Amino acid sequence: MAALSAAHRAGKLRMPDEPGPRDPQSFDHLRASLFRKSWVVYAKRPFGGPEQVLRYLGRYTHRVGISNHRLVALDAHAVTFRTKNGKTTTVDPLVFLDRFIEHVLPHGFVKIRHYGLLAPSNISSHYARARAALTSRAVTLPASLEPSLPHDWRLLLLALTAIDVAVCPACGARAIVCQPLPQARAPPVAA
């Protein structure tokens, strides 16, 4: 209601029955009727459970509504594209645009990006193995790797995973460090 009021004050919202540019009484009447309305949110349990809902929403928060490789044909009269199950569907271009626009994020919103274990390519393989490794046994750090003593991530990685990043996985030679690697940066944010 506050956003509607602010939009009306700024002249961005105009009531259909307003005679002039902005009629405060017309908007006040609508606002009063909205406050009198008993708003009830009805949300029933999803058929496939919460996992299905997350998978469905994840397709829109992590990807574009439809990727280019699914577009089969396009002309002034029809757009043909492949559906998720491999079949093709043909719709009017305006219907296609209407459906596509529903999946475009509003200004100021950014798509969710995941890196590392939560990256889409790792979620089905590496992530499950990492979760299993975390729940299978508790890791105790040796006294030489207490959190207050070493601050070198390479030693901690070696202790936790037995992966020595100073050894080349292809030839087995030890790396010679000429200068430290730059600090990792955070993912970019929308302006």
pLDDT at 22: 59
Q: Is residue 160 part of a domain?
A: yes
Residue type, 2: A
Q: Is 39 exposed, middle or buried (0-12, 13-18, 19+ CB in 10 A)?
A: exposed
Q: Is residue 11 part of a domain?
A: no
How far is residue 191's CA from residue 189's CA, in Å, rounded to a whole number?
A: 6
Question: What is the overall mean pLDDT for the chain?
Answer: 76
Q: How confident is the model at residue 112 (pLDDT cuts 50, 70, 90)?
A: low
Q: Is residue 37 part of a domain?
A: no
Residue span of the structural domain in which 122 resides: 113-138
Q: What is the mean pLDDT of residues 123-133?
A: 75
How many domains does the chain fold into? 3
Cβ neighbors of 2 (< 8 A, separation 6 or more) are none
**Of 127 and 165, which is predicted with more confidence?**
165
pTM of the prediction? 0.33
Q: Is the pLDDT of residue 149 over 50?
A: no
Q: How confident is the model at residue 128 (pLDDT cuts 50, 70, 90)?
A: confident
C-beta of residue 72 within 8 angstroms of C-beta of residue 88? yes
pLDDT at 94: 93
Q: Is residue 185 part of a domain?
A: no
Domain boundary among 39, 74, 101: 101
